[in-house]
C-alpha cells in the first residue's frame, strides 16, 4: 500500500493496539506461555529421540502468538494440521506463485471473514464481555467510524499481519537511477540480502562471524543501512519491537533446554546449504535436528 492517509491510519492503529511498549509489556505472559508450549512440544520429540524441523516448531509458535494477539485463539495445536496448512498458504503467497496465490489468498481471507463474523455476532449479545485483543479493538473503531475502517480493510490488515508483509514500494513518479528508468506505478522489490552483504560496509561479508557484532554499534533498528532486516525509515516494520522481545526468548529457551545434534551422521561441514529462491530465501533441504534434553 502506498503512503497515504489510509496507510497512516492503519499504521497508527497497529502501533497503538499491538506494538506499543505498554501493549507488548501487557502481553509478556502470553509470549512466555507460547515459548513454554514450544519447549514442551520439542521435549516430546526429545523423549523418543525423534528428529525435528525446527522451522516448523518455530512457525507454529509464532502463528499461535499472532493469532492470540489478534483473535485470542490458537490457530495451531497438536491435534490439528492447521499450522502446516497455514504455513503452506503463507509460503505460496510470499513466493508470489501467481497461479496458486489467488486461491490461497482467498482461503486466508475466508478464515478472517469467519472470525470477524463470529465476533461481530458475539458483540451484539447483552452479556458480551469485550476481549482484550486486536479484533475487538478494530470492530470498536469500525463501529465508531465505519468510514475510517470497514470490514474489507480489517481483513486486508490481518492479511498483512499474518504474512508479515513483503516490503515492496510503488513509485509515485518516474525515477531515473544511473541508467535505469523506474516508471511511475512500478513495483520495486528491495534486495535486503544483497544490502546486508555489501563489501563496502562489511569485511568478508560472506563469512558467518557473530564476533563481528561484539564491538560493533550496528543494530537492526533501521538506522544502520548495512543491516536492515526490518527495513528503515517511515516504512520500517512496525513489529520490530515484538520481534526483538520474542526471538531472543525463543532462541534462548531452545539453547538452554536442549543439546542439539544433526541427524543421520551429518556434520556442520557436510550440511546442505542449497537455497530455493522466491521473495523470501529458504533452505532447499530443511534443517533437521535431534533435541536432547539437558
Average pLDDT over residues 121-145: 90
Closest Cα to residue 58, out of 253, 273, 192, 259?
253
Q: How far is CA 118 from CA 121, 123, 156, 178, in A?
A: 5, 9, 17, 53
- Looking up residue 66, the CATH number of its domain turns out to be 1.10.630.10
Mean pLDDT is lowest, of 27-31, 145-149, 264-268, 269-273, for 145-149
In a domain, 267, yes or no: yes
Structural domain includes residue 70: yes
pLDDT band at 107 (very low <50, low <70, confident <90, very high): confident
Evaluate whether 138 touches 13 at the Cβ level (below 8 Å): yes
pLDDT of 168: 44
Query: How many residues does the structure list for the chain?
Result: 294
Task: Give the pLDDT of residue 59.
Answer: 84
What total number of domains does the chain contain? 1
Distance separating alpha carbons of residues 8 and 1, to the nearest angstrom: 10
pLDDT at 166 over 50: no
Q: What are phi and psi of 80, to 5 degrees?
A: -135, 165
For the four alpha carbons of 70, 72, 78 and 82, in that order, the dihedral sign comes to negative
What average pLDDT does this structure show over 66-88?
Answer: 76
pLDDT at position 97 is 55
E strand residue ranges, the chain: 52-53, 168-170, 175-177, 180-182, 187-189, 258-262, 275-277, 281-283, 288-293
Instruction: Provide the percentage of residues in the chain whose pLDDT is more than 70.
Output: 85
237 part of a folded domain? no
Q: Tell me how far apart the alpha carbons of residues 89 and 143 are, in angstroms, rounded to a whole number.
A: 31
Residue 241 lies in a domain: no
60-84 as b/e: b if 16+ CB within 10 A:
bbbbbbbbbbbbbebbbeeeeebbe
Within a domain: 134 = yes
Q: Domain for residue 175, yes or no?
A: no
CA dihedral 223, 225, 230, 233 (to 10 degrees): 60
Domain extent for 65: 5-164+255-293
- Asked if pLDDT for residue 75 goes beyond 90, the answer is no
Amino acid at each position: 500500500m502506498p503512503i497515504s492517509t489510509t496507510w497512516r491510519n492503519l499504521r497508527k492503529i497497529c502501533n497503538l493496539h499491538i506494538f506499543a511498549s505498554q501493549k507488548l509489556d501487557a502481553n509478556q505472559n502470553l509470549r512466555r506461555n507460547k515459548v513454554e508450549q514450544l519447549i514442551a512440544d520439542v521435549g516430546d520429540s526429545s523423549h523418543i529421540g525423534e528428529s525435528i524441523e525446527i522451522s516448523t516448531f518455530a512457525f507454529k509458535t509464532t502463528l499461535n502468538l499472532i493469532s492470540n494477539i489478534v483473535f485470542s485463539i490458537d490457530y495451531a495445536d497438536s491435534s490439528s494440521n492447521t499450522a502446516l496448512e497455514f504455513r503452506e498458504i503463507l509460503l505460496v503467497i510470499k513466493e508470489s506463485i501467481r497461479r496458486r496465490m489467488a486461491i490461497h489468498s482467498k482461503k486466508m481471507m475466508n478464515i478472517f471473514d469467519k472470525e470477524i463474523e463470529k465476533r461481530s455476532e458475539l458483540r451484539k449479545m447483552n452479556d458480551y464481555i469485550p476481549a482484550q485483543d486486536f479484533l475487538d479493538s478494530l470492530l470498536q473503531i469500525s463501529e465508531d467510524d465505519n468510514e475510517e475502517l470497514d470490514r474489507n480493510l480489517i481483513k486486508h490488515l490481518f492479511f498483512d499481519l499474518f504474512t508479515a508483509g513483503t516490503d515492496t514500494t510503488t513509485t509515485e513518479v518516474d525515477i531515473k537511477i544511473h541508467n535505469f528508468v523506474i516508471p511511475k506505478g512500478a513495483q520495486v522489490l528491495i534486495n535486503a540480502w544483497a544490502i546486508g552483504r555489501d563489501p563496502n560496509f562489511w569485511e568478508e561479508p560472506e563469512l558467518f562471524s557473530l564476533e563481528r557484532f561484539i564491538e560493533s554499534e550496528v543494530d537492526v533498528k533501521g538506522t544502520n543501512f548495512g543491516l536492515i532486516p526490518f527495513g528503515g525509515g517511515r516504512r520500517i516494520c512496525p513489529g520490530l519491537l515484538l520481534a526483538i522481545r520474542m526471538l531472543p526468548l525463543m532462541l534462548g529457551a531452545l539453547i538452554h533446554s536442549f543439546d542439539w545434534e544433526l541427524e543421520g551422521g551429518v556434520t556442520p561441514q557436510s550440511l546442505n546449504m542449497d537455497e530455493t529462491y522466491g521473495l523470501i530465501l529458504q533452505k532447499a533441504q530443511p534443517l533437521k535436528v535431534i533435541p536432547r534434553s539437558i
